[in-house]
Structures are given as structure tokens and as C-alpha cells.
Amino acid sequence: MSVEDNESRAILRRRQVEAKTGLSRSTIYRRMRVGTFPSAISLGGRMVGWRATDIGQFLANPARYRAPEPEHRDDAESLP
């Protein structure tokens, strides 16, 4: 597996996402609710993370980013 493959499959934790985006925890979750920030994925228990590729897409154009609709509505409703 190449370095690019590893980076594209990387999962970022909240503090890493905060550092990369400059957004606070509350802003990240507020933007997730309105669809202007990538959705988190469950890592088990209370842990969540974000795909590095999703965060990269957000950073490419934060003002125009719109999250894709979740495939399973139950997944979206279980996030804080």
C-alpha cells in the first residue's frame, strides 16, 4: 500500500480536525447539523472520527462545502 493510499484512508480524531480546520468543537458539530461540514463516522463506543479525504474536500472550499446526504438516516441522528 502506498503512502497516498494510507493518507486517503486515514481517520482524523476531533482534536486533529480542530487543528487542521481552525474550528472549535461546537462549531464543527453545529456545521455538521446544518450540512456544511463532513459527517463524523463512528469508531465504536463514544469515539468518532472524520475521513481525511472528507476534511480535505472541506478545506478546499469551506464556504461552499455541502455534505452529501447520509445513506442511513439512523447514522446521522445518532451523532451529538
User: Could you read off the pLDDT of 18-29 as tens digits, one per residue?
Assistant: 999 999 999 999
DSSP character string of 15-73: HHHHHHH---HHHHHHHHHHTSSPPPEEEETTEEEEEHHHHHHHHH-TTT--PPPPSSH
Q: What is the pLDDT of residue 73?
A: 53
pTM (predicted TM-score) = 0.78
DSSP-derived 3-state class of residue 78: coil
Who has greater pLDDT, 79 or 14? 14
User: Could you read off the pLDDT of 31-73 as tens digits, one per residue?
Assistant: 999 999 999 999 999 999 999 999 999 999 999 999 988 666 5
Q: What is the pLDDT of residue 68?
A: 87
What is the spatial distance between Cα 38 and Cα 59, in angstroms, rounded to a whole number? 10
Q: Which domains does the chain have, with CATH numbers?
A: 3-77 (1.10.1660)
Measured between its terminal Cα atoms, the distance across the chain in Å is: 34
pLDDT class for 7, splitting at 50, 70, 90?
A: low
